[in-house]
Amino acid sequence: MDFNDPIYGSATITEPVLQALIQSEAVQRLQGVLQHGITGLIGLTEPISRFDHSLGAVLLVRRLGGSVPEQIAALLHDVSHTAFSHVIDYVLDDHDGQSFHDEMKETYMATTDLPDILGQHGYNWTNFVDEEQFSLLEQPSPRLCADRIDYFLRDCRGLRLATEADIARVVNDLVVGNGRIALKSISIARWFGETFMRADDASWANFREVGLYELTARAIRRGLAIGLITQDDFWQTDAVLWQTLHESVDDQLQTLLAQVSLETQFVWDEENPTFWVSTKLRAVDPDVLGEDGALRPLSTLDPDFASRRATYLSGKKGAWPMRVVPQLN
């Protein structure tokens, strides 16, 4: 299989197990699941799919010398993501943790074609449930890992926060030390850390996007309450679930759906909020690989960065009072 990825360039995957998994129903479903959930579907953000990101994580792990099992883990790390991605965490009141897809991974994978495919190639599918076993793919925040790096670089392109040259500099500076991903250059690590916060503010923890997530979550909760959908429907694609919701004649549901629009505005209003909502904040502290082979967090090498990161996180934490201002008909 030949791929021309916008982040990592041309790559060829020859391993039969990876080829089979890429073609599986479970992985192909991710082409219809957008990384930004509802904002990608309505055109506010670039429509980057979970498939794009999962394949990107494979290519990054591969580039860094990761084993075939780690590449398999990278390909499957988001396979249990629901339609609308993290919107479902809002449905289930996990705004800050956003871990539903991780909690459901084993249960979901068991229902797919993945166990049989992996078994045919000599692998036990349960070995790929816990991503933390794979140190290139997953690391606790705020460290770098293939998952975190790939979704950041893809979003940087869509959000116009980085040039192609910026992205190439980062990719070429990535290195593995002590089994973890780091950067070689303090200046590039600083760019990465600063731009990661800009991406969080511009999209992942953006006031308007969080408001749209919450409105969509309330529409989905209404669909559950009236029996229009069940939690099993969460593992459809974005478009299918969206169409099901829109086909309902329930007035309350349709009012909520009408507000999930580019025209809807959100105002900070502590006196008369439509709702208070919090969200997960993301801010990395990239490791830098020293000449002595030691990994040191950027915050220990650059106190100014450490201060800016702390200020950013403290300034956005907590619930935000949002008043929804729907479009005028």
Q: Give the pLDDT confidence score for residue 322 in this predicted structure.
A: 98
DSSP 8-state assignment for residue 328: P
What pLDDT digit, counting tens, does each position of 229-257 carry? Answer: 999 999 999 999 999 999 999 999 999 99
What is the helix (H) or strand (E) element at residue 207, kind and residue range?
A: helix 207-225
DSSP 8-state assignment for residue 116: H
DSSP 8-state assignment for residue 2: E
CA neighbor of 196 nearest in space, from 252, 156, 244:
156
How far apart are alpha carbons 265 and 159 in whole angstroms?
20
Residue recorded with tokens 């909760």: 221
How far apart are alpha carbons 77 and 196 in whole angstroms?
21
How far apart are alpha carbons 74 and 245 in whole angstroms?
32
Assign 328 a pLDDT band (cuts: 50, 70, 90): low
- Specify whether the CB–CB gap between 27 and 76 falls below 8 A: yes
What pLDDT digit, counting tens, does each position of 88-107 carry? Answer: 999 999 899 999 999 999 99
Q: Give the pLDDT confidence score for residue 70 in this predicted structure.
A: 98
Q: At what angle do helices 50-63 and 146-158 cross, to 10 degrees?
A: 120
How far apart are alpha carbons 170 and 178 in whole angstroms?
19
Q: Strand 287-289: give its sheet, edge to edge.
A: 174-177, 180-183, 287-289, 295-297
Q: Give the pLDDT confidence score for residue 264 in this predicted structure.
A: 97
Residue 327 confidence (pLDDT) above 90:
no
What pLDDT digit, counting tens, does each position of 200-228 carry? Answer: 999 999 999 999 999 999 999 999 999 99
Q: Give the pLDDT confidence score for residue 221 in this predicted structure.
A: 98
Residue 82 confidence (pLDDT) above 70:
yes
What pLDDT digit, counting tens, does each position of 141-196 carry? Answer: 999 999 999 999 999 999 999 999 999 999 999 999 999 999 999 999 999 999 99
Through-space distance between the first and last CA atoms of the chain, rounded to whole angstroms: 49
What pLDDT digit, counting tens, does each position of 269-326 carry? Answer: 999 999 999 999 999 999 999 999 999 999 999 999 999 999 999 999 999 999 999 9
Q: What is the dihedral of CA 290, 293, 299, 303, to 10 degrees?
A: -40
Assign 24 a pLDDT band (cuts: 50, 70, 90): very high
Residue 329 confidence (pLDDT) above 80:
no
Residue recorded with tokens 């408001």: 211
What is the helix (H) or strand (E) element at residue 283, kind and residue range?
A: none
How far apart are alpha carbons 93 and 87 in whole angstroms?
10
In order of their start, the domains of the chain are 2-206+280-316 (1.10.3210.10)
